[in-house]
Structure 1
Amino acid sequence: MRAATGLWRWRHNPLRRTTDLVEAWVALAAAVLLCVAVPLAGWTAGASAYGSLQRAIRAQQEQRTPTTARVLGAAEGPPRVVRTAEAAEEERLSRPVTARWTAPDGSVRTGTVETARRHAAPGDTFALWTDRDGRPVAPPMHPATARAHAITAGFMASLLTGLLVETGRRLAMRRLVLLRYARLDRAWAAAGPDWGRTGTGS
């Protein structure tokens, strides 16, 4: 970022133009925003995302119940467990089986679910999460996953804020350059007819 390069224009100089002073102010404002607004935006976005994810985790923990399922045999149909994106790797390594488990109301359920056990023989048990109605669901989000998502959100917010500040600075600089060119053209047009003539200005 070249925002600080315009700060030299603060110096008193008989050749300093108004646009030079404006450029210095723009550079100073951009530098302050990069040092203050960018970290603040990242922290705010990250904290907000983390708070939302923590509330989601608590809600999932309240609505989902851990239980133990017992393998009955090989699966004959598609698994009934609702999957999420964060469980993609587990899905790749899991195996569908027919199992029996107990619902939160005490009733016994049977269905096709997935287990991470590579060799699931009849009689084997494994952990299973169910909703309040006893249907298999994905486990609650892990706190480490929530922290990773929050950090990503904060980083993206900081990056977008920095890009916004830099874009605004560049647009302001472009506007100042165009203004200088316009003033130079007017000055050249006013002096052009007499340029180079003997006795001009006498």
Structure 2
Amino acid sequence: MRAIGGLWRWRNNPLCRTTDLVEAWLALVTLLLIVVAAPVIGSLVGAVAQDSLQRSVRAQHDSRQLVTATVTRKLDRAPLDPEPDTSVHDTRTRVRAAWTAPDGTRQHDTVLIPLKSPHPGDHFRLWTDLQGHMAARPLDSATATTHAVLAGFGAAMLAASAVEGGRRLLVWRMVRRRYARWDQAWDRAGPDWGKAGTGS
């Protein structure tokens, strides 16, 4: 971005090449795109993501119910023991539980619950779909908003990176072309350079 400052200094300099001006203008346009376009893209992506995620939150809350389940039997904990090479200990317990579905049917299934020593008759809360089958906890509005903000921020960063990457690619191509021209000029002057009587 130093080329932007050089744009003003180079404007009337006889040593200024066309590529120097192009590089400076390219840097200025890149800066403007990063400062203006990237935040706009990020806010648009964030708004679209927020709308979609909030619709998903409403749909999940409409299609899932929190019911009270009752422990009918504690099951063997062995399959949930942590691996010997991990330090994570699962504090949940497998139980056989029963609950009444939102449609009034009685359901039974094996459930993981956060009770250390459950006994038959203990109650706990469980998310189910409208037919009474176990379901994941629905997404909450605050989490959806966080995901939307992160999506918008990521889109802005991606747009800024793409603009800067495009600038660097164009500058790299200009520099390669400049070096190729220098090589051609040296090839023309090279055989006679420094010899007496060649006008150098």
Q: Name the TM-score, length of structure 1 as normaliser.
A: 0.80
1:114 paired residue number: 112
Alignment of 1:147-162 (within 5 A): 147-162=145-160
- Is the alpha carbon distance of 1:152 and 1:135 closer, same or farther for their aligned partners in structure 2, counting shifts above 3 Å? same
Shift of 1:190: 4.4
Match 2:129 to one of 110, 128, 131? 131
- What amino acid is the match of 1:105? D
2:80 paired residue number: none
Shift of 1:187: 3.4
2:199 paired residue number: 200
After TM superposition, the structure 1 stretch with the greater mean CA deviation from structure 2, 161-170 or 92-101, is: 92-101
After TM superposition, the structure 1 stretch with the greater mean CA deviation from structure 2, 7-16 or 60-69, is: 7-16
| C-alpha distance in 2 between matches for 1:199 and 1:101 | 102
Q: Deviations over 1:31-53 (max 9, x none)?
A: 11111122222222222222211
> Matched residue of 2:95: which SS?
strand
Identity %: 47
Shift of 1:9: 3.2
Shift of 1:71: 1.3
> Matched residue of 1:67: which SS?
strand
2:27 paired residue number: 27
> Matched residue of 1:130: which SS?
strand
| C-alpha distance in 1 between matches for 2:121 and 2:192 | 104
- Is the alpha carbon distance of 1:47 and 1:66 closer, same or farther for their aligned partners in structure 2, counting shifts above 3 Å? same
- Is the alpha carbon distance of 1:194 and 1:96 closer, same or farther for their aligned partners in structure 2, counting shifts above 3 Å? same
Gap regions ≥5 residues in structure 2:
78-88
- Is the alpha carbon distance of 1:118 and 1:48 closer, same or farther for their aligned partners in structure 2, counting shifts above 3 Å? farther
- Is the alpha carbon distance of 1:46 and 1:111 closer, same or farther for their aligned partners in structure 2, counting shifts above 3 Å? same
> Matched residue of 1:138: which SS?
coil
Shift of 1:124: 1.5
Shift of 1:125: 1.1
1:18 paired residue number: 18
- What amino acid is the match of 1:72? T
What is the aligned residue count?
A: 185
2:142 paired residue number: 144
- What amino acid is the match of 2:59? A
Alignment of 1:77-116 (within 5 A): 92-116=90-114
- Is the alpha carbon distance of 1:111 and 1:195 closer, same or farther for their aligned partners in structure 2, counting shifts above 3 Å? closer
- Is the alpha carbon distance of 1:48 and 1:19 closer, same or farther for their aligned partners in structure 2, counting shifts above 3 Å? same
Within the alignment, does 1:38 sit opposite 2:35 as a pair?
Answer: no
Contact 2:7 2:25 in 1 (8 A): no
> Matched residue of 1:104: which SS?
coil
- What amino acid is the match of 2:145? R
Match 2:7 to one of 2, 5, 9? 9
| C-alpha distance in 2 between matches for 1:148 and 1:95 | 31
Q: CA RMSD in A?
A: 2.4
- What amino acid is the match of 2:181? R
Shift of 1:134: 1.1
Gap regions ≥5 residues in structure 1:
78-90
- What amino acid is the match of 1:121? H
Q: Name the TM-score, length of structure 2 as normaliser.
A: 0.80
- What amino acid is the match of 2:143? T
- Is the alpha carbon distance of 1:136 and 1:199 closer, same or farther for their aligned partners in structure 2, counting shifts above 3 Å? closer
